[in-house]
Structure 1
Amino acid sequence: MQSDWSSWAEAVSTASVMCESTGGYVSVAGESGATSCTLCGPGSYADEPNHVCADYQAQTYSTFGVDECLVCPSAVYKSKQLTGQSSCDPCPPGTLKTLTTCHKCDSGTIAELYQTECTLCDGVDEYSGVQGGTYQPVPAEWAVSVNRDEITECPKGTYGVAGANSCTAYGAGEFSSETAATQCETTAADYVPSEDSFGGGAAIPCDGPGEYCDTEGQSEAKNTTAGYIPKFDRTGTEKCPPGTIASACVDECTPCSPGQFVSGTANAKCTDAAIGYYSLEKGKFEPMLCSNYVTGSTTLQAKTYSLDGCVCLGGEFKNGNTMKCKKVPAGNRDDVAGMTTQSMHLKKGHWRSSANSIAVAECFGNPDRCVECNNLVQDLTVDGGSLEFGGTAEVQTITSSADGSMTGGTFKLSFKGDVTGEILFDASAAAVKGFLEALDMIGFDEVVRERVNNGCFVWYVEFLGNIGDQPLMAVADKLELDGEGADLVVNEVVAGVAPPGTSEI
């Protein structure tokens, strides 16, 4: 090029020499006698005959100071419909060459620089969301469409896997508290996922009625079955103890009611005490046999919850002194169940001297003048004999008390050196009377029980009316009573007075 320039300079200096076309030089405006030459620029060539720089045709180009044009490659360069081009422009990434321009690749496909076709985004983490775009990476916590043209953020309760077309729901016992998550968390043994979505957006404790979670990663709480309740920490179950039951899906075991019992553990229902048995307290796991209380006694119905329900059958009566069922004396009806010494049912035309006497005599003269059943001395009319009259019955009270509540236990009483058996803290009047009559002593006319409060009671004990003043009963043992400040005292409320005389009849 420098040598050409020197030649041109020489030509100019001679003034009359024509500019050479070689090297792209022409004389200015084609003037004859020109004193200078012009170098043709890029995209043009020296047209010396016409003394001009002419543009190369469309789809060709040239650089500065050349005499030949070059054809643009058809595969990747856009074909401009222009003349005088100095270069060919390749189609930019994301486009392909058409006849006259560059066409954008569809979304989901790409074309790199100099590529001759649009290709599908096929990398696990690639997508193209716009026409004419290049590939973009898919965030790990997002899902990409099948066509690779859009991505979606994974919602709470799901997570993303690189290149996956959809978000993955958490499995059993898994959860996530965030959106756009890339991994899940596993619930602890006493938790389950919330119900935000499958898998859940949070872990919540197992705390519904009867619910427990015994393993990590549970998708939902388990429910207790009958006879079981959840452990304190809700990580398992435990059996209901003897004497208690539980239905399915509950948190607490319930004691059986009096008159019922349940054997063993893990039970769903209580069983009624059968005929011949009784159950006095809540939570009993074995019924008691009536004949162990009064020999030969039974019950008239199932589910008996009182010692008073243990009775002798027809033809027998309960003898309080011996605590046995014995054959009724002659003169008594034999078709009435539940008779005691004090409640004999006499046949018409018979009498006895008092409610505690088992000696029954036949009336003489007019039988209608004898009173039936539980005959009292003052109601009696007989043809002969003598009766005591005018005495005052001794009355003593047995009173239990506690600072809080009396909840159970037993006590013993003594009288004139004899000691009773163990008496339940809430024993019925008949039961207390039975224990007292079993002592080697004069009998009692009546015992009445009155509830005070908080499981405490007062028993009124009336002695026979013809035995006069009696020494005070004593508490032999009260250590078995249950309850804070539990105590038991005996007081005399009516002093007994012996009858002044007898009446001859």
Structure 2
Amino acid sequence: MCHYSDHGVAECDPCPPGSFIDFTGATYCKSCPVGHYRQKPGYDDCEPCQKGSAAEVEGSLQCPKCLVGEHQGQEGQATCDKCPAGYFQNKVGAEKCEACPAGTFSQQGSGYCVKCPAGSYTDKEGQGQCYLCPAGSFNDDEGSTGCDLCAAGSAAPKAGAAMCEVCGAGFYSEQGADECLECKPGHYNDQDGSGTCIACSAGSFAPGTGNTECVPCPAGQYSESDAADKCVDCQAGTVAEVEGSTKCAACSAGTFAYGEGNLKCKECSKGSFSGSDGMDHCNKCSAGSFSSEDGSSNCTLCPAGSLNWAGGSLSRNPCSLVPPGNWERVSKVSLPVGQSECSPCPAGHAQSLPAQDSCYICQPGQYSPTEGSTRCSQCPAGSFSNQAGKSFCTVCQGGWYQPYPKQKECKICQAGTAQGKEGATECNVCEPGSFSNKDGALDCIPCAEGSSQGNEGQTSCNVCKGGQYAGGEGNLKCGECAAGSFSQSGAGNCTLCSAGSYSTSTSSRSKCSLCEPGRFASGEGNTECLSCEAWVLC
């Protein structure tokens, strides 16, 4: 049987290599189609290329093996396929590609895998790229499968860190921090790499932020609790004679300290006295009494049968004999002539001594609620009186406070703090995730959606940057949008990139980038664009 014959030829010839006939009585041989071959002359059909090889032209005598970085898992194919990104093949004639192990990556058509550089990682096999360690974490080895959190006392401000930066003195950080924070007022640290700040002990203070030491309170001032950011002047009637005082000492009877911030008490001069501890002034001896020494705690009554009209007498024996006919009236209490009974001191006044011709008025910061008081009481902490002669103290209203007794006014809560109750002795520091932006606030305001605040005692919240988000209220920190999404400044959530656009873990993610010509991305949430096939326009 002839396989083919030209016109006029007496016998049939076999088809040459790379060709075949498809029916009996053919006058010519056809070239083997792509993906097929024939090495020898003959009468048979062309054979399909084996797996791991391909023939891209017609009339092939053999099928070349797939090159390194290529594979072909089917018979009779015209071309070999490149290994996809994340896979490799280091041999020729391969039927399939191998996945790159975790900690490595490869590009399309690779014959080998590349270790992820320090500061990046892949945590599973078959990856076409390495991912940067998030801010606050690091790795210092090539080929890493994960990242370690920065230790307390260090931070990594940017993604892709191979090592964490050590916080300097006056700063601190917790584990996994992306920034070192300044020590708050009233706190300090004096060493690099600290995970916390130390509260100043009572008797010292640290103003402002970022302190590396605490300062002793100067004489005349004190701080009674830890973590003070300032020292307080000693109140009238009290003193602090040395630096670093945790409290002020009350002046003893017979002495006084006028005004605030005193270092020493002064003795009452002759003719005056202070009858109790903690006095801010001395009282003049009243009619019928005298004091002849400095530092007197009381005045001496004129003896029976004598009197003193002026008061404030300085001499050792200033009393005069009562004129004839008046001895009975003055023999016991030395009352002025014509006065036969005592009157109670009105509310807002007091008198602690007998045989007096007047009551003393309660000073601002004091009160006496009833008639006949023997002393003026101090207004308790959380209240005040701003006038002399008061019978009651006024409680501090909401947004105000007073930590000390015997005060003339309340202090307003500063921005960053709040107090919603009356009669408060301190203001509440706004917690992280909230703020107050004015003095005298009743409540702290939670940070709005799209903003955050990681520190306490703040006057505002930080708006999340583009590529970040904070859902709901009261956020301590803005989250980072994942690759394949984006957000604008102040966003409460991230939006997936639309078809034809993408974002990566290394970009700002404040917007999605459009695919370049010749590349495409279908669906939403793309992290990369793929190359178009050679015969497709996109």
What TM-score comes out, normalization by structure 2 length? 0.44
What TM-score comes out, normalization by structure 1 length? 0.46
Higher radius of gyration, 1 or 2: 1
Judging by fraction of residues, say which structure has more helix: 1
Which gives a bigger RCO, structure 1 or 2 (Cα 8 Å, sep 6+)?
Answer: 1
Judging by fraction of residues, say which structure has more strand: 1
